[in-house]
Amino acid sequence: MFREKIKVLDCTIRDGGLINDHQFSEEFVRAVYKALSMSGVDYMEIGYKNSAKLFPASEFGPWKFCDDETINRVIDGIPSKTKISVMVDIGRVDVNDIKPKKESPITMIRVASYAKDIDKAIKLVNEIHHKGYETCVNIMAITKVLDNELVEALDQLEKECSADVIYIVDSFGFLYQETTEYLIKKAKSILKTKEVGFHGHNNQQLAFGNTIEAIIHNANYLDATVYGIGRAAGNCPIELLLGFLKNPKFDIRPILDLISKELIPLRDQIEWGYIIPYALAGMYNAHPKEAMDLRESEKKEN
């Protein structure tokens, strides 16, 4: 339960933004950042840094683009050791829009990639790493990747990529503890110079259990969200994770206060968490899109 190397990354705003097109107010994001800072969380992923040329700003909130000026306004004046992270998708970011690290409030940039696009991910990560950022590659939809494809992707990442961390991502909430163990051990056996991370979705209410399993097998970077907020069934709840990690640097109380004041009222406005359609999507190793469409229809309880 206690391992000093473990880092906790909160993706409340980034993953939660997939529910409401990233339309969180600056006041809400500031409240999340303040609570995470007081709780000693290592990283806050504040959104995506996608290109405004590709996505109309009229349809998406500011956390789809995460310009440095907006981030600086939100974090200004809050004493904090919590580092700011953003995510980029291959083909949706203009690397020329990313300033050198010394000119930005962002510390870490994570590249989301499917195994088939790992060449593109490596090129993008190496360019971003050269600008001075900590970098990660998140291998998405890991449960759709054949074993030989995963081995090849991990081998390439070890030999050719500057990323500090490689994440195993259970995008569809399909994994059980045995398969989580297998994937983390596989990654650790190949990635000799990089840390391994885990990002779980909660379709079958296993995100927390699978995160514990990843910890047991020496994954040191762990994703979670406040009150489990995230697309569809959501993610590993950070309050459970901090309660499990017996590290005195973490204080769960500011997170519980944030849930009481901000997340419970928010849940009356947008929906996330375990429900049957998302559970079925998880059981079938399927993208939750059809389940999400059902929940937005008149037959949502059918």
Q: Measured between alpha carbons, how far is residue 265 from residues 25, 48, 179, 259, 270 in Å? A: 14, 24, 36, 9, 9
Predicted confidence at residue 2, as pLDDT, reads 79
The angle that helices 12-20 and 26-39 make with each other, rounded to 10 degrees, is 150
Give the count of alpha carbons within 13 A of 23, CB side only. Answer: 10
Tokens of 115: 């195994």
Asked if 274 and 233 count as a contact pair (C-beta separation under 8 A), the reply is yes
Taking the C-alpha atoms of residue 49 and residue 259, their distance in angstroms, rounded to an integer, is: 26
Asked if 199 and 241 count as a contact pair (C-beta separation under 8 A), the reply is no
Long-range contacts (CB closer than 8 Å, 24 or more residues apart) made by 117-124: 117/90, 118/153, 118/156, 118/157, 119/156, 120/90, 120/91, 121/90, 121/161, 122/156, 122/157, 122/160, 122/161, 124/88, 124/90, 124/93, 124/95
The angle that helices 147-160 and 177-190 make with each other, rounded to 10 degrees, is 40
Handedness of CA 187, 176, 253, 20 (dihedral sign): positive
Q: Which residues, at least 6 apart from 141, have a Cβ–Cβ distance to it below 8 Å?
A: 114, 169, 171, 172
Helix (H) or strand (E) holding 38: helix 26-39
Predicted confidence at residue 1, as pLDDT, reads 64
Residue 238: φ, ψ to 5°: -70, -30
User: At 102, is the secondary structure helix, strand, or coil?
Assistant: helix
Asked if 211 and 198 count as a contact pair (C-beta separation under 8 A), the reply is yes
Structural domains present in the chain: 7-295 (3.20.20.70)
Give me the tens of pLDDT residue by residue for the chain, a chain 302 residues long: 679 999 999 999 999 999 999 999 999 999 999 999 999 999 999 999 999 888 888 899 999 999 999 999 999 999 999 999 999 999 999 999 999 999 999 999 999 999 999 999 999 999 999 999 999 999 999 999 999 999 999 999 999 999 999 999 999 999 999 999 999 999 999 999 999 999 999 999 999 999 999 999 999 999 999 999 999 999 999 999 999 998 999 999 999 999 999 999 999 999 999 999 999 999 999 999 999 999 999 999 98
Asked if 7 and 42 count as a contact pair (C-beta separation under 8 A), the reply is yes
The candidate with the shortest Cα–Cα distance to 131, out of 156, 148, 165, 107, is 107
Work out the end-to-end distance of the chain between its first and last CA atoms, rounded to an integer number of angstroms: 41
Predicted confidence at residue 18, as pLDDT, reads 97
Q: How many residues does the chain have?
A: 302
Residue 108: φ, ψ to 5°: -120, 140
Tell which phi-psi region holds residue 10, choosing left (phi > 0), alpha (psi between -120 and 50) or beta.
Answer: beta
Residue 183: φ, ψ to 5°: -70, -40
The candidate with the shortest Cα–Cα distance to 194, out of 219, 223, 227, 176, is 219
